[in-house]
Amino acid sequence: MKREFRDMLKERGREELPQVLLVSAECAPLSKTGGLADVVGTLPKALKKLGVEARVITPYHRVIKDKYFGQTEHMFYFYTELGWRREYVGIEKLILDGVTIYLVDNERFFNDRIYRGDRAELEQYAFFTRAVLDAIPNLDFVPEVIHCNDWHTAMVPMIARTQYRGCMQEGLRYLLTIHNIAYQGKCGFAQVQDLLSVEDKYYTPEFMELHGCANFLKAGCVFADRINTVSPSYAREIMTPYYAEGLDGILNARAAQLSGIINGIDKAVFNPHSDKSIPAHYDRGHLRGKAVCKAALQERMGLAQRPEVPLVAMVTRMTEQKGFDLVTAVLDEMMSHEDMQFMLLGTGDARFENFMREAEGRYKGRLCAYIGYSEELSHLVYAGSDFFLMPSRFEPCGLSQMIAMRYGSIPIVRETGGLRDTVIPYNQFTGEGNGFSFANFDAWEMLAVVRTALRCYGNKEIMQGLINRAMQADFGFALSAQEYARLYIWML
Ligand code: ADP
Ligand code: GLC
């Protein structure tokens, strides 16, 4: 155990590191729609290396059942009360890469999409909250910190503290990590009462009411012992009205309990030296393989086989968060004046998907819009592209830019949240930096920076330096895990 941890524990009159249970709607590689899954999948592995036992509890989604059925061990089942309904809860156990994952089984709530949207999604995760709380005392594991993630699991501390007094172990602590404040789980109070039997007295601005709605994430911010988010910059940003989506009041009130811990990526999964999803391997000093990947990507996606042309890529959820308004505003200007190729892998809002499909028609052979989700293709896009565009309106952390850098694809980002904390803008005078960035949420500012990046592409020396520094950056999870371990100990 690290000496620092031993000293911290000693101050608290104990010797062992705390046991942690992560509660999450998704967990890679079992179920994934975005970065939350990656973080919940990777953090326990990194914590284990530090001696912290962290386990995960997550829904037994259809996608998991399809792939892992037969590999899970049935632990126990019971019936729980969701308001007036009696619902089955099965607890299955799966051990993956040395990490124990508890799967909450219920065919009614988890038999199709991870997120059903609207009211159905609230029901799914109200059920999950109840099932988790009922299951905890019966697990073969005694957690001391319950680590909740985003609004889907943010009601756990409140329900535990108001309805489970005496049922849970003494001194149990709750951490809430905000991965994305834009989604809060808002609904009418009657629905929360109906599903989770919350007493009237909690429907006030002091507890879970915000702007006339019941708000799951706010309840989490009020009742968790500590709150953190996924980068130091975003932790500061969400204390301001522009980024906080209404939660700046409670977050300022709890500023002393709020911190930012930058995420990392799984360096074993995202490794250009050994990645099974790419046709050739490479590393910092030997980039020939990257050229092979670029040719393979061009061929597979119907882009002209031109090694000398810069290829700009995006791998993303297609939402306003990711800056698609900027892309749609200047894509034509960019494509018609620059000798470049553009590759998009993404899915999301129909208006953005349609815009990109149409653009593909206008720029055949130069622009490919692959509308869909493909883990395997994403690796080839990171490896085969020269630049990675991520002009987010807000970005709590962002994993894509870190993955891109690891594959030597130079990020072009807006200076916000975790993008600001991970991308160092290129400085032509000192030669420092590992990417390009712009400050304002402005399409023309983005375009100007894209143009600067494309000019640099023409200069081998500059490009080589950028790739070198980008691939050198250490975005592994080890440092993040250390910070989480510190936070857990601190909470005891
Ligand atoms: P967010 O969680 O906000 O979507 P992140 O950058 O934190 O953004 O994480 C996104 C993760 O999801 C990355 O691992 C990225 O490669 C992956 N991803 C996003 N869209 C797709 C897609 N269409 N196909 C494959 N992977 C995707
Ligand atoms: C959210 C954020 C993203 C972050 C991820 C993991 O989806 O949008 O920025 O990297 O969570 O924390």
Q: Is the CB of 319 under 6 A from ligand 1?
A: no
| Ligand 2 center from residue 181 Cα (angstroms) | 10
Please report, as a single letter, which amino acid is at residue 423: V
- pLDDT per position as a tens digit, 423-459: 999 999 999 999 999 999 999 999 999 999 999 999 9
To test the ligand 2 pocket, which listed residue (147, 175, 230) has its Cβ within 8 A of the most ligand atoms?
A: 230
Residue nearest atom 3 of ligand 2, based on CA coordinates: 398
Residue 415's pLDDT is 98
Q: Distance between CA atoms of 490 and 257, rounded to whole angstroms?
A: 11
Instruction: Indicate whether residue 374 lines ligand 1 (CB < 6 A).
Output: yes
Which atom of ligand 2 sits closest to the CA of residue 399?
10
At 110, list the tokens. Answer: 């988890």
DSSP assignment of 279-310 equals SS--BTTB-HHHHHHHHHHHHHHT----TTS-
Nearest CA to ligand 1 atom 21: 316
What does the pLDDT read at residue 388?
99
pLDDT of residue 1: 87
The one-character DSSP state at 474 is -
For residue 473, what pLDDT is reported?
94
The per-residue pLDDT for range 472-489, each reduced to its tens digit, is 999 999 999 999 999 999
* Atom 18 of ligand 1, residue of closest alpha carbon: 316
Both tokens assigned to 337: 């004046």
Dmax over CA atoms of the chain, in Å, equals 68
Q: Is 137 exposed, middle or buried (0-12, 13-18, 19+ CB in 10 A)?
A: exposed
- Closest ligand to residue 411's CA: 1
Closest atom of ligand 1 relative to the 375 alpha carbon: 25
| Nearest protein Cα to ligand 2, atom 5 | 35
Residue of 400, 423, 475 to mutate, ligand 1, most atoms within 8 A of C-beta: 400
Residue-range domains of the chain with CATH = 3-264+477-491 (3.40.50.2000), 288-472 (3.40.50.2000)
- Tell which one of 32, 36, 317 to mutate to probe ligand 1, the residue whose CB is within 8 A of the most ligand atoms: 317
- In this prediction, residue 302 carries a pLDDT of 98
pLDDT at residue 169 in the model: 87
Which two structure tokens, joined as six digits, stand for 31?
A: 């179920």
CA-based nearest residue to 311, from 148, 142, 450:
450
What is the b/e burial string over 254-282, where b = at least 16 CB atoms within 10 angstroms of the residue's CB? beebbbbbbbbbbbebbbbeebeebbbbb
Distance (angstroms) between ligand 1 centre and the Cα of 316 equals: 5
Residue 36 CA, ligand 1 centroid: distance in Å:
9
> Residue 398 C-alpha to ligand 2 middle, in angstroms?
5
> Is ligand 1 within 6 A of the CB of residue 398?
yes
Find the helix or strand (DSSP H, E) in which 186 lies: strand 186-187
Which residue has a Cα nearest atom 15 of ligand 1? 400
Question: Counting Cβ atoms within 10 Å, is residue 315 exposed (0-12), middle (13-18) or buried (19+)?
Answer: buried
Q: How far is CA 65 from CA 94, 121, 125, 375, 438, in A?
A: 11, 19, 18, 18, 43
Confidence (pTM): 0.95
347 CA closest ligand 1 atom index = 23
Whether 8 contacts 490, CB under 8 Å: yes
Does ligand 1 have an atom closer than 6 angstroms to the CB of 451?
no
Within the chain, which residues score under 70 in pLDDT?
none
Helix 443-457 to helix 324-337 angle (10° resolution) is 50
Cis peptide bond upstream of 29, omega within 30: yes
The ligand placed nearest to the CA atom of residue 234 is 2
Which residue ranges have their beta carbon within 6 Å of ligand 2?
34-36, 39, 179-180, 230, 263, 395-399, 418
Instruction: Say if CB 407 and CB 434 are below 8 A apart.
Output: no
Rounded Cα distance between 401 and 387, Å, is 10
